[in-house]
Amino acid sequence: MSVTDSSLSRPGLLGRTTVNAVVAISVLYTLLPVLWLVLAASKGRDSLFGSDLLSLGDFSFLQNLGDLFAMDGGLYGRWYVNSLLYAVAGAAIGSLVSVACGYAFDKYRFRHKEKLFGLVLAAVMVPQTVLALPLYLMASGAGLVNTFWAVFVPVLFNPFGVYLGRVFSQGYVPDEVLEAARIDGAGELTTYVRVALRMLGPGLVTVFLFQLTAIWNNFFLPMVMLSDQDLYPVSLGLYQWNSSASVSPEYYPVVIMGSLLAVLPLILAFTLLQRFWRSGLTAGAVK
Amino acid sequence: MTTTTPPRVPAGAPGTTAPAPANPRARRAARRRRLTACGVLMTPFFALLVTVFLIPVGTAVRLSFYSDDQPGLGFGPERTVFVGLRSYAAVLTDPTFLGGLGTVALYCLVYIPLLVLGALALALLLDSGAVRLRAFAQLGLFLPHAVPGIIAALIWLYLYTPGISPVIELFAKADLTIDFLGIHTVIPSIVNIALWSNLGYNTVVFYAALQAVPREVIEASVVDGAGPVRTALQVKTPLVRASIVMVAIFTLIWALQLFTEPMLLSQSSPMISSRFSPSMYIYDAAFTRNNYSLAAAASVVLLVCTIALSYGVTRFTSRAGNAEEAR
């Protein structure tokens, strides 16, 4: 029998049943709460509390959707647009900035390079809560508190993206290509934009997705910086609505529907870009 | 290596390396062009690093040594005075802060091993070749990663709330009453939210690392007579050590910042005070009590803990790794 047959290492029938059962239970654990969210979003307020989730008697999905966008003068729509703006624009600019820096770390030599890179890695470790108060004081000194920029500028900073950029640049952009471009007389920056950036594409998408997720999830910074509801991202808005729900239960169905809609963009992004990010997942663990 | 001067070669001498221009002046110009390009590519990031990282960290450290002292009787302008380590003493003797540190320590001790071992076990099972519908299983496990932290907390808050939750209803049918937000259950409940959010993502990370393990290594262990369990634990697991360390460190850094989940649950549970975790303490000190020096001192303490623990994990795992390689 050929030893390349990978079925040799497979467990027997009993083992296989156990393995499948464990995985199936884990998948149920991760899927059921999301399924609950979908079902709960289609319930009216009364049947939500009746918790008879599977009966289709009270199907108010569309009504909840309408209520969501009508609540408090259409605030949710604003929050959604804000979140998209913070996340998509922030991740696009942030990933370009980080990957460019990581590429430069990989391809150029200068004094104290590794020390500087160490500083970048150290920045990965610093908790966001440590930076929030000083950032708030700086923004308040500059008159930027409670503006778009107070949230947008800090989220551009992505030191882990620089690390990934360097790893990807090592892997995807051979030095010979740069030498060839130099011999052809191409400028350094032209080479980066025309040649290297294209090769870095999958890496750039990975960094973009990481940052998109982080910004879409961002909650602490907007909470510190923003008091104007019109500038809120979805996360902070839903947090506030949920705190109102204990007093005015009409908020419950809209919070649930709002949560469901807030999950969609990341699912969409991960599905559309899955070809790219899968290759990037392990890049962080290079020895 | 960048400081060594290139060997002097007479202009136009034969035998110089092809890509570098033979003329030293031209070579210097090329080098200058490269450094300029490097500067241009790095400047945007380092501008951000200075403004949203270095200056804020410096500010936090400075704030922690100063305090706004009210002059006697509350007359006259407020002055900022140097108070040395007074704020640190105040933080480190504050039972609410120490309680928060204890809470996070307990949370980390429960959460991190559960997450790392759970994700690794699932990844090894997926990699064993015995799982049906592997792509579907991965997708299902990964789905919570697309759910923002605050929304994961919201979903679970509802699943913890009597009257809404089908889970509590199920328990009630079995004559069990369970209070997910009681004094002993609140930390496990928060662990569950974090675990739910991150289990699948890290499973996929480990699975991707396992896929990169050379098949020959596994075949060799099979030929040597190792069963599937031994192959998984003694052959595959050591080979993905780098991924395990990375996941552990990132999880630790995030876990120490515990904020979103307890902040949301505190809307519904009296068991979660406004200073439940160090991050909530910092938020409360800075934005509810407006005591900036206290908040800054607490931030620096949290920062030092984070750096010390991450460094400890790195050292510990690299030593363990070296010991393993030495065998």
Per-residue model confidence as pLDDT tens digits over B19-34: 555 688 888 888 888 8
Same domain, A160 and A239: yes
d(CA A284, nearest CA chain B) in Å: 8
- Is the confidence at residue B151, as pLDDT, over 60? yes
How big is the A-B interface in CB pairs under 8 Å? 305
Do both B222 and B145 map to the same domain? yes
Q: Are residues B240 and B300 in the same domain?
A: yes
What pLDDT score does B238 carry?
A: 84
Q: Which one of B63, B204, B310 has the shortest CB-CB distance to A281?
A: B204
Question: Could you tell me if A80 and A199 lie in one domain?
Answer: yes
| pLDDT of amino acid A2 | 39
Interface predicted TM-score of the whole assembly (ipTM), two decimals: 0.86
Residue B19 covered by a domain: no
Q: Which residues of chain A have pLDDT under 50?
A: 1-9, 285-287
Residues of chain B in contact with residue A189, where contact means CB-CB under 8 angstroms, are 37, 40-41
Q: How far is Cα B303 from Cα B300, in angstroms, rounded to an integer? A: 5
pLDDT tens for each residue of B135-144 = 788 888 888 9
Please give, rounded to a whole number of angstroms, the shortest distance from the CA of B177 to a CA of chain A.
16
CA–CA distance, A130 with A136 (Å, rounded to integer): 11
The reply to whether B300 falls in a domain is yes
Mark yes or no for CB contact A136/B286 under 8 Å. Answer: yes
Q: How far apart are CA B172 and CA B185, in angstroms?
A: 17
**What is the average per-residue pLDDT within B210-234?**
82
B322 belongs to a structural domain: yes
Mean pLDDT to the nearest integer, B252-278: 89
Q: What angle do CA A141, A215, A167 make, to 5 degrees?
A: 110
Q: Maximum distance among all alpha carbons in chain A?
A: 75
Label residue B281 by pLDDT band (50, 70, 90): very high
Angle between helices A201-217 and A148-156 (to 10 degrees): 140
Tell me whether residue B12 is in a domain. Answer: no
Q: Domain check: are A50 and A95 in the same one? A: no
Domains in chain B, number? 2
Q: Are residues A198 and A129 in the same domain?
A: yes
Would strands B79-82 and B66-69 be described as parallel, antiparallel, or unpaired?
antiparallel
pLDDT, mean of residues B246-257: 90
Q: What pLDDT is recorded for position A202?
A: 84
Shared-domain flag, residues B161 and B284: yes
Inform me whether the pLDDT recorded for B4 exceeds 60: no
* pLDDT at site B225: 79
CATH number of residue B119's parent domain: 1.10.3720.10
Mean pLDDT of the B104-118 span = 94
Q: Do A220 and A113 sit in the same domain of this protein?
A: yes
Looking at the fold, whether B107 and B256 belong to one and the same domain comes out as yes
pLDDT of residue A7: 44
Give the model's confidence band at B277: pLDDT under 50 very low, under 70 low, under 90 confident, else very high: very high
Contact A120 B36 (CB under 8 A): no
Q: Do B45 and A16 touch (CB under 8 A)?
A: no
pLDDT of res. A221: 92
Domain assignment present for B13: no
8 Å CB contact of A133 and B303: no
Residues B312 and B238 in one domain: yes
For residue B317, pLDDT over 90 is answered with: no
Cα–Cα distance for residue pair B105/B318, rounded to 1 Å: 23
Nearest to B246 among A22, A49, A284 (CB): A284
Mutate to test the interface with A, among B61, B97, B151 (most CBs of A within 10 A): B151
A133, part of any domain = yes
Question: What is the rounded distance in angstroms from the CA atom of residue A41 to the CA atom of residue B9?
Answer: 76
Q: With contacts defined as CB-CB under 8 Å, which chain A residues touch B162?
A: none
Residues A78 and A12 in one domain: no
Look at residues A21, A37, A66 and tell me which one is the last residue of a structural domain. Answer: A66
Is B196 within 8 Å of chain A by CB?
yes
B53 and B169, same structural domain?
no
Same domain, B124 and B210: yes
- CATH number of domain containing A126: 1.10.3720.10
Helix pair angle (B55-65, B292-326), 10° resolution: 120
Per the model's pLDDT, the better-predicted residue between B121 and A51 turns out to be B121
Q: Which residues of A touch B199 (CB under 8 A)?
A: 26, 29-30
The answer, for B137 touching chain A at a CB cutoff of 8 Å, is yes
Residues B155 and B268 in one domain: yes
Nearest to A30 among B164, B196, B221 (CB): B196
pLDDT for position B49:
93
pLDDT for res B325 = 56
Identify the closest residue of chain B to A83 by CA–CA distance.
B148
Assess whether A20 and A142 both reside in one domain: no
pLDDT of A54: 58
Are residues B193 and B55 both part of a single domain? no
* Mean pLDDT (chain B, rounded): 83
Please indicate, yes or no, whether residues A139 and A12 belong to a single structural domain of this protein. Answer: no
Residue A1 belongs to a domain:
no
The pLDDT assigned to B129 comes to 76
Q: Is residue A54 part of a domain?
A: yes
Domain assignment present for residue A168? The answer is yes
A215 and A238 belong to one structural domain:
yes
Of A27, A105, A189, the CB nearest to B140: A27
**Does residue B113 sit within a domain?**
yes
Nearest residue on chain A to B293, judged by CA atoms? A133
The distance in angstroms from the start CA to the end CA of chain A is 36
Which residues of chain A have a CB within 8 Å of the CB of B257?
127-129
**E strands, chain B, where?**
66-69, 79-82
Among A31, A48, A66, where does a domain finish? A66
Q: Do B29 and B113 belong together in one domain?
A: no
Q: Which of A66, A85, A103 is the last residue of a domain?
A: A66
Query: What is the rounded distance in angstroms from the CA atom of residue B327 to the CA atom of residue B325?
Result: 5
Cα–Cα nearest to A165, from A95, A269, A87: A95
pTM for the structure as a whole: 0.85
> Do A18 and A107 fall into the same domain?
no
Domain span at residue A29? 6-66
Inform me whether the C-beta atom of residue B224 falls under 8 Å from chain A C-beta atoms: no
Q: How many domains does chain A have?
A: 2
Q: Does residue B277 lie in a domain region?
A: yes
Beta bridge partners, B82, equal: B66
| Interface check B147 vs A, CB under 8 A | yes
Amino acid letter for position B76? G
The reply to whether A42 and A178 lie within a common domain is: no
**Contact at CB, B257 and A162, closer than 8 angstroms:** no
| B118-128 average pLDDT score | 89
Which CA distances in Å does A284 have to A150, B114, B203, B212? 29, 22, 15, 14
Nearest to B242 among A22, A255, A287 (CB): A287
Q: Which residue of B has its CA nearest to A120?
A: B49
- Choose, out of B4, B38, B41, the residue to mutate when testing the contact with A (most A CBs < 10 Å): B41
Q: Is B71 domain-assigned?
A: no
Query: Are residue A57 and residue A166 in the same domain, yes or no?
Result: no
Domain of B258, in residue numbers: 94-326
Instruction: Search chain B and give the residue with CA nearest A5.
Output: B219
Contact in structure between B295 and B238 (CB atoms under 8 Å)? no
